[in-house]
Amino acid sequence: MKLGFLTACLPARPLAEIAEWAAAHGYEALEVAAWPDLGDRPFTATHLDVANLSERAADETRTLFDRYGLTLSSLAFYDNNLHPDPDERKAINEHVLACVEAAARLGCPTVGTFVGRHPGRTVAENLEDAEQVFAPLVDRAGELGVKLIVENCVMEGWHPDGYPGNLAYSPELWEWMFSLGLYLNYDPSHLMWMGIDPVTALRPYVEKIPHAQAKDIQLFPERRHRYGWPGKAIGRTDPFDVGWWRYRVPGLGEVDWRAVVDTLYEGGFDGVLSVEHEDPVWGGTEDKVRTGLEVAHRTLRPLLIA
């Protein structure tokens, strides 16, 4: 198992600088942000232009990772593959395909995305739509030896009422995903606020997890007594601010990382554990973000077998 991080937390830095910093601070892998340019949308970045990846750029990327002894663990493009606008949905699906093509050229084993959701259709209708949307993507990924992985993030801010906006939030839905040929990019933080024990949920499915993310969560149950499980209903200016929990870097929240890592090892996981830094305390400036990554490294590195 190697320790890496998702580069989206440093959107203004070029990939070469991030790689140099990562290697100097004990990280062994990078999950590279590959969104198209989305302006100021938070937690996204374009550290690799997959839609216009020339052979020269591919060679330079491979050389960069070799220079610093890093593994390119995944290309990250987490967006709504069931977007209600048909043109937007088509563009997102095509960008996932571009990520798959780029991953194959770079020797990268996985591409990460979301299932997503059309908020105006039922869960059952969305699942039927997803079977059609993902079939050609999974087929092409399989042809190229790349695995499509889906993070179990709830994406509640994508739904107008704060309900799950990414239909991958529970083991029930993971099993449906696996039946389509998709894999899981496991993140324990999302399970905890859903009321799902992350270790119990993880144990039966390790063989379907080629890549995992490390994000922690801090819960405030006393606030949940006011808002209820879906979170704030009035005055919710930020669609992702539910009011009773927040993400933290590993070690500053409530995830039992010793148990999570032990369960991954027990199940035979030998991929990359990638820190996804969305901590509002250790965010806002690049210096704070880097400090958060150092906290995460100090927390997780002792748990991994060198």
CATH number at residue 91: 3.20.20.150
Per-residue pLDDT band for 38 (boundaries 50, 70, 90) equals confident
The answer, yes or no, to whether residue 104 has pLDDT greater than 90, is yes
CA dist 106 and 71 (Å) reads 11
Pairing of strands 216-219, 245-248: antiparallel
Q: DSSP per residue over 239-254, as a string?
A: TT--SSEEEE-TTSSS
Residue identified by tokens 């999570």 is 260
* Boundaries of domain holding 218: 2-303
Amino acid at 9: C
Average pLDDT of the segment spanning 149-176: 95
First to last CA, the chain: 8
Percent of the chain with pLDDT over 90: 94
Q: Which of 51, 53, 68, 2 is nearest to 31 (CA)?
A: 2
Count Cβ atoms below 10 Å from residue 162 Cβ, excluding itself. 21
> Number of folded domains in the chain?
1
Higher-pLDDT residue of 235, 22: 22
Average pLDDT of the segment spanning 106-128: 98
According to the model, what pLDDT value does residue 120 have?
A: 96
> pLDDT tens digits, residue range 51-74?
999 999 999 999 999 999 999 999
Instruction: HSE, CB side, 13 Å, CA atoms: give it for residue 285.
Output: 3
Percent of the chain with pLDDT over 70: 100
> pLDDT tens digits, residue range 216-273?
999 999 999 999 998 999 988 999 999 999 999 999 999 999 999 999 999 999 999 9
Instruction: HSE, CB side, 13 Å, CA atoms: give it for residue 209.
Output: 31
The answer, yes or no, to whether residue 161 has pLDDT greater than 90, is no
According to the model, what pLDDT value does residue 42 have?
A: 81
Per-residue pLDDT band for 40 (boundaries 50, 70, 90) equals confident
User: How much is the mean pLDDT over the chain?
Assistant: 97
CB–CB of 164/170 below 8 Å? no
According to the model, what pLDDT value does residue 32 have?
A: 98
Q: DSSP per residue over the chain, as a string?
A: -EEEEEGGG-TTS-HHHHHHHHHHTT--EEEEEB----TT-TT--BSS-GGG--HHHHHHHHHHHHHTT-EEEEEE----TT-SSHHHHHHHHHHHHHHHHHHHHHT--EEEE-----TTS-HHHHHHHHHHHHHHHHHHHHHHT-EEEEE----GGGSTTSS-SSS-SSHHHHHHHHHTT-EEEE-HHHHHHHT--HHHHHGGGGGG-SEEEE-EEEE-HHHHHHH-TT---SS--STT--SSEEEE-TTSSS--HHHHHHHHHHTT--SEEEE----STT-SSHHHHHHHHHHHHHHHGGGS--
Per-residue pLDDT band for 41 (boundaries 50, 70, 90) equals confident
Per-residue pLDDT band for 210 (boundaries 50, 70, 90) equals very high
CB–CB of 28/4 below 8 Å? yes
According to the model, what pLDDT value does residue 235 have?
A: 87
Count Cβ atoms below 10 Å from residue 113 Cβ, excluding itself. 28
